[in-house]
Amino acid sequence: MSNLDPSSDRFEIGGENLIPKVGSVESGSEKPANDVRKGDDGLDDIRVRIGTLLKTETVSLLFGAGASLDCGGQLIGAIPLAIEQALQKEGITGESKPRIRRWLLLFYLALRHCSGGDSSPVTRDAILNRRQQLNGNSPSPLKVNFEHVLAQLHRWRAALPATGGRLRIAGSPGVDAEAEDLDTALKQSTHALGRACDLPTAGKEVGLATFKTLVRKLLTRPLNLKRVNVFTLNYDTLVEQAADAEGVVLLDGFVGTQRRVFRPESYEQDLYFPAETTEGRVHRFDRVLHLHKLHGSITWRANEPTIDDPYGIQSEPFNAASSKPLLIYPTPAKYGETLDSPYSELFRRFAAALTRPQSVLFVIGYGFGDEHVNTIIRQALAVPSFTLVIVDPAPQSAFVQTLREQKDCRVWIAEGQTIGTLAGFVEHVLPDLRDEEIRKKVLATHRALSKSHASEGGEASGS
């Protein structure tokens, strides 16, 4: 039985909320039984509708950073505490007389330039005081977008030649930076981001159970349909870990056993096994998903391209101490990097999946902040048979608001703390298709009995 909050939980199709409005109750009291039934009936109807979508020919999912929060993932709308702590650990040396490395000061100077105020620490004493705050109880993150800080560092670095040079900017505080210090600031910042994506973090392992349940439910689709496409903008390996735990084969674009290299043509492969007859028939293996990591992964490594490794990319287990992840970091170069291999190939497949007839995209934990992703979704919305399902606890982007204003019945929105999160959506909304037929029959019987009871009541009152 669900615990829907009708004041925040909504499931909209074309602007119409399908969750019944039920009476409010005081805190600590129980909901009336009829209110609970209304909420559950509404969810039953929604599950049936979602089940119908899952039976369409092409089903895709798109994960953003919000999908990894329950496993300790980081949002970069502010400076993630884990990343700032990692930078301070590397950038402050000595205990009796702490020394602030130049690159760490440049990071905080970039932060100050982005904030437009004087809240960020840019002196030795202020940085050391910030370290005490980070080591204390419940420190507050600095309210500056991490992406903007990296962008500022890149702009400063772009003003200097490839090697050498010195940048001086007048102001209070001023900037006096050598190219080497800026390179180190960028390297340390991006490596800290990569290490923060080694999930789940300690104490957050339970969040992985949601991904396992998701994988199990996706595999209940009929075998005659195309494999489910999982597209993710995240660098973590939560989908891979869930698939391993469930014995699922991921076609992720890599081939090989000891040496796994990127060969995107492997997405065209499929798995079959012989039937127990002598007629030469084969059965399709049911435990297969397609995984596309649109922005790279903490497990990807760059190498020199060779004849047997044309993209120069290998996949190997992540080592936080020595790994150098090949990622698209949130920098001004992001949109340009997506035009290069292998990202161009992955985004081409993303666009192809969305623009096929009878295609469905579930967007979970993505705030529509990447224009190169939004452009492809816009193109898909030009296809009449495309359906977009947005799962977000509190959608606020202009992209979603514009869609809402159109009241397009192809746009479905699940929001609220119960059904607007990955965990809530998987538990309460996403059906197990093996149970769907039974659920349909139960729902039809319940509705028929309700109508019959209502008509009998009307006749009795009129007699």
Which stretch of 12-21, 47-56, 234-243, 332-341 has the lowest confidence by average pLDDT?
332-341
**CB distance 337 to 256 below 8 Å:** no
The verdict on 308 and 423 lying in the same domain is yes
Of 61 and 164, the structure prediction assigns the larger pLDDT to: 61
In this structure, is residue 368 part of a structural domain?
Answer: yes
Quick check: is 110 in a domain? yes
Please tell me whether residues 293 and 322 are part of one structural domain.
Answer: yes
Does residue 1 lie in a domain region? Answer: no
Q: Which range has the worst mean pLDDT, 34-38, 74-78, 331-335, 412-416?
A: 34-38
Amino acid 27: pLDDT: 38
Domain check: are 398 and 285 in the same one?
Answer: yes
- Domain-located, residue 192: yes
Best mean pLDDT range from 91-105, 323-337, 351-365: 351-365
- The answer to whether the beta carbons of residues 52 and 434 sit under 8 Å apart is no
| Domain final residue, candidates 133, 162, 196 | 196
Measure the CA–CA gap between 267 and 288, rounded to whole angstroms. Answer: 11
My answer on whether 186 and 221 are in the same domain is: no
Buried b (16+ CB within 10 A) or exposed e, 391-421: bbbebeeebbeebbeeeeebbbbbbbebbbb
**Residue 411 pLDDT exceeds 60:** yes
**What are the pLDDT digits (tens) for 187-215?**
899 888 888 999 999 999 999 999 999 99
In a domain, 4, yes or no: no
Structure tokens at 41: 């009936």
75 or 444, which is more confident? Answer: 75
Is residue 356 located within the same domain as residue 446?
A: no
- Tokens linked to 169: 């900017």
Residue 2 belongs to a domain: no
Residue 457: which pLDDT band, with cuts at 50, 70 and 90? low
- In this structure, is residue 67 part of a structural domain? yes
Q: Could you tell me which residues are beta bridge partners of residue 313?
A: 302
**pLDDT score, position 394:** 95
Q: Point out the domain boundary residue: 196, 228, 246.
A: 196
Copy the structure tokens of residue 332: 């001004």
**Could you tell me the CATH number of the domain that includes residue 426?**
3.40.50.1220
Residue type, 37: R
Q: What is the pLDDT of the chain when averaged over all its residues? A: 87
- Do 234 and 174 share a structural domain? no
Task: Report whether pLDDT(349) > 50.
Answer: yes
Q: Do 192 and 228 reside in the same domain of the chain?
A: no
Q: Could you say which of 143, 165, 196 is where a domain stops? A: 196
What is the number of structural domains in the chain?
3
Together in a domain, 380 and 275: yes
Shared-domain flag, residues 368 and 422: yes
Domain that holds residue 234: 10-73+202-431
Mean pLDDT of 45-67: 96
Minimum mean pLDDT among 95-99, 393-397, 415-419: which range? Answer: 95-99
In a domain, 5, yes or no: no
Please tell me whether residues 213 and 190 are part of one structural domain: no
Where are the extended beta strands (E) located within 237-327?
249-251, 254-255, 260-262, 272-274, 282-284, 288-293, 296-297, 300-302, 313-315, 326-327
pLDDT band at 29 (very low <50, low <70, confident <90, very high): very low
Q: Are residues 355 and 338 in the same domain?
A: yes
User: Does one domain contain both 177 and 312?
Assistant: no
- Asked if 412 contacts 13 with a C-beta cutoff of 8 angstroms, the reply is yes
